Structure 1
Amino acid sequence: MSSADIVGIDAGAVGRWFASLGVDFAGPLAFERIGLGQSNLTYLVKDQDGHRWVLRRPPLGHLLASAHDVAREARILTALESTVVPTPRVLGLTDEPAVTDVPLLLMEFVDGQVVDTMSIARSLTPERRRAIGMSLPRTLAKIHAVDLQVTGLTGLAGHKPYAQRQLKRWSAQWERSRTRELPALEDLTRRLVAAVPEQREPTLVHGDFHLRNVITSYDTGEVTAVLDWELSTLGDPLADLGSLLAYWPAKGENTSGDFAATALDGFPTREELVAAYSAASGRDLTALGYWHALGLWKVAIIAEGVMRRAMDEPRNKAASGTPTAERIDALVAKAHEVADTAGV
């Protein structure tokens, strides 16, 4: 596909924008859709000398309010440049009509391994899988230790309790994007609303932290960049750990669709992730079962939204395939099981 045909990008206008930013490049630029992102679209941009950058834009078609805010993502990434959280550097952000009809975010390209397909996960040694897995909770602890005053992120979100905000937001998302009746999910929502834990100190939360959303070192397996900050906000740090557990199926669990990477030998167990986070953060993890169940609930709602978007606008389908009703049902069933264990 030539760059002129790339969906969602005006190659000539983006080239002129690069020049206006002072980015040194040998034109013409070539664009390639990368990643398996089902929300914001991500493109690898290359020039004639092999230099690389990454460009992000919201998805095509009708958007739910605030769901795909690349300007917000740019603000968070810029604020994190001075911290120990590994992130790509922001090079530019534009919503100029001469360049684009939606906001575009330009970032540096961070080289490394993204474990976002089963073939990549299978190609790794068990030792490398373990190193990557154990780096994730340590990286989360770094995100949750960010000084909100110093980074200027205190105003990123209201300081109302995060659980209520999440339940309200994702329940509304469910109502707008569901494709069917699902009484088990409605029942789970009621359980979560009735058992909201006490709000602890608000920290920066990533909002969608999992294996596919990080770049890792080819040498050590350590996380070298955390990606996809569009859902980041201020909230309860255990929500991120609960999300990570929700995206971390064990052997024999059917909640992962086509991506059961974490069930492969070498990847740490959920219990090991929790122990590593506890050691790195020193936090009280009493309420974690609640946040694990809420994480599964949220993943189910996100998956339903992706299924709906792919039905409504086939061009939004990503290479990873589209979630199925069976997988969403499995996520809801697992959430009920986790909630039972946690006494929710």
Structure 2
Amino acid sequence: MIDTEPQLAAMLEARKARRALPPYIPQADADVAALLASFFARELPGSSVSGIARIGGGASKEQFVFTLAAPGEDPRRYVLRMDALEGITETSRAREYEILKAFAGVVPVPDPVWLDAEAAHFPTPAVIMEFVPGVTKPQTDGVSVTGLGTVLGDPLRGLIAPQYYDNLARIHNFDWTKAGLTQFTAPTADPKQATRWLINFWKELLEQDAVTREPVLRLATQWLEDHVPDCEAPCVVHGDYRTGNYLFDEASGRITAILDWEMSYIGDFHADLGWLLQPVFGSCIDGVFRVSDIAPRDEWIAAYEAASGNRVDPVKLHYFTVFNAWKSYILVSALGMQAARTAHNHQDVLLTFLAATGPMFVDDLARLLMMEESR
């Protein structure tokens, strides 16, 4: 068994068994309609489902929006999220459901209402949550993959920034010890366990799915294992907190929901910060790089510290910047490419497109490791 969080170790073993399965067949609207109708015939007798439509975006889940009319209630919109056989991430619907429930009332999140963690009804594990209105990018941003180089611009940037910092601070300062998180295991054996578990999980995914063997990946893996920092106060790490993963009202700039909690775990808050420093998740205008298009790096760090009360350690931040470049390569050039090659995902074209960013992360890793050598 891999030395990682027990729930993640079980996921790693389960995905090995899925590798030999035949290609994944995307769900047709009519099939989804039948699945939902039979599901709610049991859960809410007398209800009806209508307005089913596929939601675009994402590189791991099939998503559908629909309207549910329950007896005696006004019709409401919901979102169905179902696993493909494989995707750009390896995650759990039960963990996603639980963490969203935990953060209700803490930060704006969609309410997860129904869970089918073991695929007892749906073809694969699924969760149904409320539909929250909002957009992930301004209409002026044009056609792009959501969250990659998104430009909020003014005045949206100024309206969103205070909420952005406040929500991230609330996530990191959340008292998870009182939240009853049964789907998560706290890494408390020693101060290095949180990050050691993290490295072992992604290292195993790389070993399972590597399409090519990049020498710098081996060097980065060894460096990460040799320099694991202490994590004195583990917190909830969102795992993918960036522009593109929250909804906002374009007119007012109000954030309506924080999305994509599926990579959440308990660990070092610097991991979230290092993820956001990846160049692909920011904007570069007139030579100025803005983290998540919110603010330049130093201003962004200072604003986070002021909002959270957490001091950012430059050494740990560098470590997790290296880690997240390494993780990003694994996501796009290992997991994503294997899912496309095995036809185990409904977004094989998008996954193949995203794999083209792999050399960028290799270059980032080489640059970051050279910086370390020059210290």
Would the TM-score normalized by the shorter structure come out above 0.5? yes
Secondary structure at the counterpart of residue 87 of structure 1 = coil
Within the alignment, does 1:150 sit opposite 2:164 as a pair? Answer: no
Q: In structure 2, what is the equivalent of residue 310 of structure 1?
A: 340
- Structure-2 separation of matches of 1:21 and 1:129: 42
Matched, 1:214 2:235: no
- What secondary structure does 1:251 align onto? strand
**Residue 56 in structure 1 maps to residue 78 in structure 2:** no
Aligned mates of 1:197, 1:97 — CA distance in 2: 38
- Contact 2:80–2:127 (8 Å) recurs in 1: yes
Give distance in 2, aligned partners of 1:69 and 1:96: 10
What per-residue deviation string (whole Å, max 9, x for no partner) do you get for residues 254-289 of structure 1? xxxxxxx9689x642233322221111121211211
Give the letter for the 1:44 counterpart: V
What corresponds to 1:67 in structure 2? 90
2:207 matched to 1:175?
yes
- Within 5 Å, give how 1:80-229 maps onto structure 2: 80-81=103-104, 83-94=105-116, 99-115=121-137, 118-119=141-142, 125-133=153-161, 135-153=163-181, 156-160=184-188, 161-229=193-261
**Alpha-carbon displacement from aligned partner over 1:12-52 (angstroms, at most 9, x marks no partner):** 23123234433985x44233221421112222123589742
Q: Distance in 1 between matches of 2:256 and 2:234?
A: 25
Distance change in 2, residues 1:123/1:156 (3 Å): closer
The worse-fitting range, judged by mean Cα deviation, of 193-202 and 240-249 is 240-249
TM-score, with normalisation over the residues of structure 2?
0.76
Match of 1:38 among 52, 59, 66: 59
The C-alpha deviation readout for 1:107-140, integer Å capped at 9, x for no partner, is 1111111129941787854221343355333321
TM-score under structure 1 normalisation?
A: 0.82
Pick from 58, 61, 79 the counterpart of residue 102 of structure 2.
79
| Residue 358 (structure 2) aligned to one of 311, 315, 328 | 328
Q: Contact 1:203 / 1:234 at 8 angstroms: preserved in 2? A: yes
Call closer, same or farther: CA 1:125–1:113 in 2, change over 3 Å: same
Code of the residue aligned with 2:324 in structure 1: it is G
Structure 2: how far apart are the matches of 1:303 and 1:132? 29
Structure 1 SS opposite 2:134: coil
Q: Structure 1: which amino acid aligns with 2:322?
A: A
Contact 1:132 1:222 in 2 (8 A): yes
The amino acid across from 1:55 in the alignment is L
Structure 2 contact 137–152 (Cα < 8 Å) conserved:
no
The alignment's C-alpha RMSD in Å is: 3.4
CA distance in 1, matches of 2:253, 2:350: 23
Counterpart of 1:165, as a letter, is W
| Gaps in structure 1 of 5+ consecutive residues | 253-260
Answer with 92-101 or 287-296: which moved more. Answer: 92-101
For the pair 1:269 / 2:296, whether they are aligned, the reply is yes
Amino acid at match of 1:228: D
Query: 1:212 offset after TM fit, Å?
Result: 1.9
Task: Give deviations 1:170-190, integer Å, cap 9, x for gaps.
Answer: 111111112112111111111
Q: Given residue 109 of structure 2, which amino acid in structure 1 is its aligned partner?
A: T
* Structure 2 unmatched runs, 5+: 1-25, 144-148
* Structure 1 stretch displaced more, 292-301 or 148-157: 148-157
3-state DSSP class of the match of 1:126? coil
Q: 1:46 to 1:251 in 2, by over 3 A?
A: same
Distance in 2 of aligned mates of 1:268 and 1:294: 22
Following superposition, the deviation at residue 207 of structure 1 comes to: 1.6
C-alpha distance 72-204 of structure 1, shift in aligned 2 (>3 A): same
The amino acid that maps onto 1:38 is: A
Aligned counterparts of 2:75 and 2:158: Cα–Cα separation in 1:
32
Aligned pairs, how many?
A: 329
Tell me, what secondary structure is at the counterpart of 2:331? helix
Residue from 328, 331, 338 that aligns with 2:368:
338
Structure 1, 274-283 or 218-227: larger mean CA deviation: 218-227
